[in-house]
Amino acid sequence: MPIETDKVIRGGCLCGAIRYQIVGIAKSIAHCHCKLCQKASGAPFVTWATYTTNQLIFVKGKPTYFNSSAQGKRGFCSACGTALVFENSDYYNEIDVTVCSMDCPDNLWPDYHIWTVSQRRWIHLNDGLPSYIDAGLDVP
Ligand SMILES: [Zn+2]
Ligand SMILES: [Zn+2]
C-alpha cells in the first residue's frame, strides 16, 4: 500500500557528501534484478523510484556519472560509492532514485519486480507483487 505523501523526501549518500530532496509522488517503484544493477550495487537487486527530473534537486554535492550502457548512466557519490540515481536517454525527463538512499525508505511501497530473468536463484519472493522477466511492453 503506497503510504507516500506529498511531503518532501530527503536522502543522500552514506558519507553525507551528497544530499537531495524530492517533491511529490513517484511514478513507479520497482525492484530491479538486472545484471547491471547487480554489478553496480554488489547486491542481488536494487529498488528504484521513478520521478520526473524536476521533482529531484541536489541540495549538497553532485553525483558522478558512469555510462553503464548505451542509453543509461548511473550517478553515485565519488567519495563513498553510494548508488543514487539512474537516467536513461530514452526517457530524458525521468530519473530513478535508489529508495534505500532515502532517509525513510519505508515511506514508499514498491509496485513490482523487473528483470527477474536474472533474479539470483537464492532470492525467494513472496511479497505478492507482480514480476516481469524483462522490460517487455507489458511493464507498467
Ligand atoms: Zn558519499
Ligand atoms: Zn536494473
Closest listed ligand to the CA of 84: 1
Burial class (CB in 10 A: 0-12, 13-18, 19+), 36: middle
Instruction: Give the pairing of strands 131-132 and 72-76.
Output: unpaired
State the distance from the centre of ligand 2 to the C-alpha of 46, rounded, in angstroms: 7
Q: Which ligand is nearest to the CA of 116?
A: 2
52 CA distance to ligand 2 middle (Å): 18
- The pTM of the whole model exceeds 0.75: yes
Question: What's the gap in Å between 92 CA and the centre of ligand 2?
Answer: 17
Q: What is the pLDDT of residues 25-73, one digit of tens each?
A: 999 999 999 999 999 999 999 999 999 999 999 999 999 999 999 999 9
The whole domain housing 51 covers 8-121+128-132
What number of CA atoms fall less than 13 Å from residue 74's CA on the CB side?
19
CATH number for position 80: 2.170.150.70
- Above 70 in pLDDT, residue 1? no
57-114 pLDDT, tens digit per residue, is 999 999 999 999 999 999 999 999 999 999 999 988 999 999 999 999 999 999 999 9
Count of domains for the chain: 1
- What pLDDT score was predicted for residue 140? 53
Please list the residues that pair with 113 across neighbouring strands.
31, 131
How many whole angstroms separate alpha carbon 19 and alpha carbon 60? 5
Whether 137 is covered by a domain: the verdict is no
In a domain, 140, yes or no: no
Q: Judge whether 53 lies within some domain.
A: yes
Centre of ligand 1 to C-alpha 62, Å, is: 10
Grid coordinates of 23: 517533491
Q: Looking at the domain assignment, is residue 96 inside a domain?
A: yes
